[in-house]
Structure 1
């Protein structure tokens, strides 16, 4: 069946017409008909209001699927990103895992043998359609367990009006240019010349993008953690000396500044530059901020890797239903359904077929710069079962690297030691 996607502007009324309740149901086969299967899906909410909640997306998609598959009910429970991973963990720990979960990580469950492999579920054409970087990031020991569901990359956003008032004609391409522009913005009275959110909300993202732009990263080419590499120490020493200590990162200490605060400040017109993902476009437009977007500047101006982020669909083996789960996920990853989701939430498609459409469609022009970054992106090391622990440690500790009196080398060495300990414990 070809499902005609419903645009998000018309979804509120559509959901009311559907009368679909999005809740967690039972645990597998329900009722007296042994051929009737209920699948339970736990999903994360990408919306910022009731009007564009992910409940709306799933309600439309499930209704269309069930119309063609009357022997299957799909019950969806949607949680905020603050809660969804914890909710799924509690279900798994209680022995009642959902059939599918769309969450932030998968490696721990895969290592415990709780998940189906993608090849157990998906048609050959669906699995082959995943963007290669994303499919590879979903592997543990060479087998794909994490199916990418949503993706994004990062660009440097800048406020055009603030740049103009500070006499800056072009966006920076090097670190030195970024620092010089930040100094001009400070002299022009901008509150946050460069917003550096290293607070506990999402410090691991800002950290990774800066590491990559300095030629480093979380892991070495050998695949081991390398947080205290020469490149990473140089990067954070530069950030401390050239931005933070010179008062170019704003009134809130980077270690206390969260991404949401930084994004809100940009939308309010108080930030000259910051690293952002696609959702910042809408926030800025809604507040009337004229902005530009360019690839992240690098130390010497050469093109470097950018950070890519993906969220993951997983399928648990607990209740069986492999065939039913596979058919439903083939539908989820249909090109038009992937496009509908991506366009609704300003995210990048995870399939090549949808990416090809988006790269040329006029309605997707604003997302094209992010899409162009995907082939040059590197994702978190999510295939390592230690990554969740390492990310949590980075969130809490990296701000100290640029704090007053802090020593970047010492902080990064401590984070590396903790990362190696977590990796050994997970082995």
Structure 2
């Protein structure tokens, strides 16, 4: 899952006025009078048996049985290709009606998306959890509808902790380092997993920034990548974790999240940052694990990272009314909870969130859910974020190498971020 933190983008050409629906035929494949909606979505499964395709096909058939005259054509792609697939479709003038992907801001800035109030009912709009919904805004107009969310916690291997004589999860960086030292002494291959490779670099980077009292942006939405707090955070990681051999034999700059998740499930990792789906993987591996709030520089981190994936509606085919009808159906409590519960993700609506909190089958998700209201997200509303994120993936790993210079590298990323912001205005 890609997600993401926000607020404060300027972009010309964003449509804010409501548009009347243009009810044009969607192609000769549909029965006469039917409107066919093309939906492109990301796959949250890790094998064919739990592919998201099954959820979307079932939902589509259920919707079609209740809404005669609207057909849903579903295409599901892996996370490694879905964003590019949609971008290519849009560039070719063949935008889908609905896309469930990782980012919306570029399309919103280009005036290609319907706004939320042009699509969905007031009750559906009001049901979104406010901090997450605001993350979908451009110029205070919502274009990105949150689809699912997650937060991050510290995961630890209980058996390895017992072997190393560690009584409880660390709450501070000093305690985290001390625990990592004990794990290393006990023969643990990777005392602390640090994925700064291209798959997870922006998320892992943000977690350390938040734990150190920093972040990607300030309250006004301005980039603060090279703040003193962020520089100090990565100097600490360089010197106290990587420099002391506490992150395992691999290079963090080339280490991806899923590789560490797999190693954690094999019992090779003592601690790492993780999201709810790691619980399912660990349980499938019959691993004894625990979760705890993120350790911070002087105590538990004031906030954690929240991630949202997005669903959006393109204006090209003029199917505003039909898209809105489908999205209202998608975000009913039962349908939304069905998807999030299946993939150990967090709901983005108050009704589904409340239902999850009352159902003991989701009890292990409650700590992640409790963090959601105060979580910090990627600046996903910035059209510059995609380029900034790519730069972070390329460069951040170097800051924790022996000769790494956090001030220089973060300063370079900051300058590039500011230049991209100016160019996008």
Bin for the TM-score computed over the shorter chain:
over 0.9
Match of 1:9 in 2: none
User: Which residue of the other structure, out of 186, 189, 204, is the alignment partner of 2:187?
Assistant: 189
Matched residue SS, 1:51: helix
Matched residue SS, 1:250: coil
State how far apart, in whole Å, the 1-side matches of 2:253 and 2:70 are: 48
State how far apart, in whole Å, the 2-side matches of 1:384 and 1:164 are: 45
State how far apart, in whole Å, the 1-side matches of 2:366 and 2:300 are: 21
1:132-189 deviation digits (Å, cap 9, x = unpaired): 1110000001100000001000000000000000000000000100000000000001
State how far apart, in whole Å, the 2-side matches of 1:162 and 1:27 are: 61
Structure 1 position 70, deviation (Å) = 1.9
User: Which residue of the other structure, out of 243, 246, 253, is the alignment partner of 1:245?
Assistant: 243
Structure 1 position 34, deviation (Å) = 5.3
- The answer (yes or no) to whether the contact 1:29–1:36 under 8 Å persists in 2 is no
- The answer (yes or no) to whether the contact 1:65–1:328 under 8 Å persists in 2 is yes
State how far apart, in whole Å, the 1-side matches of 2:218 and 2:169 are: 30
Match of 2:164 in 1: 166
User: Which residue of the other structure, out of 286, 292, 295, is the alignment partner of 1:294?
Assistant: 292
- The answer (yes or no) to whether the contact 1:30–1:36 under 8 Å persists in 2 is no
- The answer (yes or no) to whether the contact 1:45–1:78 under 8 Å persists in 2 is yes
Match of 2:61 in 1: 63
1:62-114 deviation digits (Å, cap 9, x = unpaired): 11110111211100100000110100011100111000000100000000100
- Where in structure 2 are the equivalents of 1:259-278 lying within 5 Å? 259-278=257-276
State how far apart, in whole Å, the 2-side matches of 1:366 and 1:33 are: 46
User: Which residue of the other structure, out of 265, 280, 283, is the alignment partner of 1:282?
Assistant: 280
Higher relative contact order (CA 8 A, sep 6+): 2
Question: How big is the alpha-carbon RMSD for the aligned residues of Structure 1 and Structure 2?
Answer: 1.3
Q: Given the alignment of the two structures, is residue 47 of structure 1 paired with residue 45 of structure 2, yes or no?
A: yes
Q: Given the alignment of the two structures, is residue 232 of structure 1 paired with residue 230 of structure 2, yes or no?
A: yes
State how far apart, in whole Å, the 1-side matches of 2:153 and 2:269 are: 15
Query: Runs of 5+ in structure 1 lacking a partner?
Result: 1-25
Match of 2:10 in 1: none
Structure 1 position 423, deviation (Å) = 1.2
Cα gap change, 1:32/1:315 in structure 2, threshold over 3 Å: closer, same or farther? closer
State how far apart, in whole Å, the 1-side matches of 2:360 and 2:259 are: 32
Match of 2:319 in 1: 321
TM-score between the two structures when normalised by the length of structure 2: 0.93
Structure 1 position 29, deviation (Å) = 4.8
- Detail structure 1 runs of 4+ shifted over 6 Å in the superposition: none
1:339-398 deviation digits (Å, cap 9, x = unpaired): 000011110001000000111211101111110110120110000000000001001110
Count of residue pairs brought into register by the alignment = 402
State how far apart, in whole Å, the 1-side matches of 2:248 and 2:405 are: 20
Cα gap change, 1:31/1:223 in structure 2, threshold over 3 Å: closer, same or farther? closer
Matched residue SS, 1:379: coil
- The answer (yes or no) to whether the contact 1:43–1:101 under 8 Å persists in 2 is yes
1:224-263 deviation digits (Å, cap 9, x = unpaired): 1111000000100110111110000101011111111111
User: Which residue of the other structure, out of 108, 111, 134, is the alignment partner of 1:110?
Assistant: 108
Q: Given the alignment of the two structures, is residue 122 of structure 1 paired with residue 116 of structure 2, yes or no?
A: no
User: Which residue of the other structure, out of 71, 74, 78, is the alignment partner of 1:76?
Assistant: 74
State how far apart, in whole Å, the 2-side matches of 1:90 and 1:326 are: 24
State how far apart, in whole Å, the 2-side matches of 1:57 and 1:407 are: 46
Structure 1 position 32, deviation (Å) = 8.0
